[in-house]
Structure 1
Amino acid sequence: MEEKPVNKTNTNGYTFMFSIIMVVVVASVLAFTATTLQPIQNENVRQEKMQNILATVGIETERSEAEELYNEYITETIALNEDGSVAEGTDAFTVDLAKELKKPGAEQLYPLYIANVEGAKYYIIPLRGKGLWDAIFGYISLKDDVNTIKGAVFDHKGETPGLGGEITQMWFKQSFADEKIFDSSGNLIGVSVVKGNVDPTNKDDNKVDAISGATITGDGVSDMISERLLRYLPYFKKQTDIKVAIQ
């Protein structure tokens, strides 16, 4: 009786080899795509960073126009040492705050952006802290008295939508405008996110309304602001043109 030829495509060896080839092909395509898109992604991140910095001083712009406006309004980009001295040769934009926070305080660099908008001077400070699930971060700008907040932007990695994720919403960010970071005695205490803020129009109480159901995220924002701002106090104390009385 004549034997039928073996169909090699039905063998285990063929299946195994086919799977290996597909894995290699798919992995190669994904690696090529990731490599190709990486420069575009990096550029988007860079432009978005400029957008956020500008937003704190009231300059809202499309991503494609961010760099032009950034170069127009941001007049200085410096990095500070712990004692408030300027780290020569370091551009604030190149400082990775997430990496800096892993270092001891004395070894960290503290990026600072200085803007001039229609003759008004602003100091823009990057923020980074801990929310409920992961990192929270953003920027806060101070008017030239280094006491009054001009604006703030916040973002997060993994806060709960509708709860802690609300820190990105305009109503929350706008609540920080014109709040003071020093108390009546001249001590830098930042701004606290608190429940039941009696008078949201009172800009001298160092408080803004909390997000309902997001206490831990709100506490993270409060801690992040006070901790980061305190790091810049040595620099501000050295500036002779600052109007606020700093203790």
Structure 2
Amino acid sequence: MDRSSNAYTFIFAIIMVVVVGAVLAFTSESLKDRQNANVKQEKMQNILYTVGVDSIEHNGAMVPLSRPLAEANFDKFITKQIALNNKGEVIAEGDKAFNVDLAKELGKADDLQMFPLYEAKVEGETCYIIPLRGTGLWGAIWGYIALKDDVNTVKGVVFDHKGETTGLGGEITKAWFQERFQDEKIFDGSGNLVGVSVVKGYGGGNNKDDNAVDAISGATITGDGVTKMISRRLKYYLPYFKKQTDMKVAVK
């Protein structure tokens, strides 16, 4: 065949597309198990971060909590993994609860969704970890919020995003921003669930009872997304918390 002909060019292009596509498909499939393992470990790592477990004793020394160490020590701190329906009833436990994909659940009606909840025990304190997911400026944002055993005080948070602007909305992943949420309250003085608002021009200083933290400069829409994500997701857990008789405070 004449290599300068259009037919040769067309056939060559088709062959290259098929070969490259096959190589990419094989590579993707061969790495699938490793990718899934990395996702699982990162999820465990983030859950543990919310309750203050960012380092662990390993071989006689304290070391940063790597993803493999998070998986190896997950059950040491996480005492219960459950999934609820919107009535606060437990409908799944263990791995089935852990593997709930919140991105898919949000596309369902409320009465068909599953709401994962993790219970942790850290230094004698019980904490409840709730997965979060919402929308920022450019796409999805997500994370976890841990509540202390009064089901009101924030133990810690972890946030992440799909495509928020670096230096602006992308700063929600930074420790200095997430630390602002520690010890904030999710109920107001009247016992109503209000979450924690990210407020532009916040002037409350270190007030931990006003249900608000200072926003990131230039990231108003992302901050609003965090505010809505927290309040909207937490409300689904109220029916479950109301049924618990060992909570230290009443919730409305």
TM over 0.5: yes
Equivalent residue for 1:96, pick from 93, 101, 106:
101
> What secondary structure sits across from 2:90 in the alignment?
coil
How far apart are 1:198 and its partner, in Å? 1.5
Please identify, of 232-241 and 197-206, the stretch whose mean Cα deviation from structure 2 is larger. 197-206
Task: Find the counterpart in structure 2 of residue 4 from structure 1.
Answer: none
**Bigger Cα Rg:** 1
Q: Deviations over 1:176-199 (max 9, x none)?
A: 000001111111110000022213
How far apart are 1:10 and its partner, in Å? 3.1
Equivalent residue for 1:216, pick from 218, 221, 230:
221
> What secondary structure sits across from 1:92 in the alignment?
helix
Whether 1:32 aligns to 2:26 is yes
TM-score for both structures, normalised by structure 2: 0.92
> What secondary structure sits across from 1:47 in the alignment?
helix
Task: Find the counterpart in structure 1 of residue 61 from structure 2.
Answer: none
2:81/2:93 contact within 8 Å kept: no
- Opposite residue 76 of structure 1, the aligned amino acid is K
Q: Deviations over 1:78-134 (max 9, x none)?
A: 001111111145632111111111111111111000001121100000000111111
Unmatched segments (≥5 aa) in structure 1: 1-6
TM-score for both structures, normalised by structure 1: 0.94
Please identify, of 20-29 and 9-18, the stretch whose mean Cα deviation from structure 2 is larger. 9-18
- Opposite residue 78 of structure 2, the aligned amino acid is I
Equivalences for residues 86-235 of structure 1 within 5 A: 86-89=90-93, 91-235=96-240
Question: Which structure has more strand as a fraction of its residues?
Answer: 2
2:164/2:170 contact within 8 Å kept: yes
Task: Find the counterpart in structure 2 of residue 8 from structure 1.
Answer: 2
Unmatched segments (≥5 aa) in structure 2: 55-64
Identity %: 66
Whether 1:236 aligns to 2:230 is no
Stretches (4+) displaced over 4 A: none
Counterpart CA distance in 1 for 2:102 and 2:217 is: 29
- Opposite residue 125 of structure 2, the aligned amino acid is A
Task: Find the counterpart in structure 2 of residue 3 from structure 1.
Answer: none
**RMSD of aligned C-alpha atoms?**
1.3
Counterpart CA distance in 2 for 1:100 and 1:158 is: 21
Counterpart CA distance in 1 for 2:93 and 2:120 is: 19
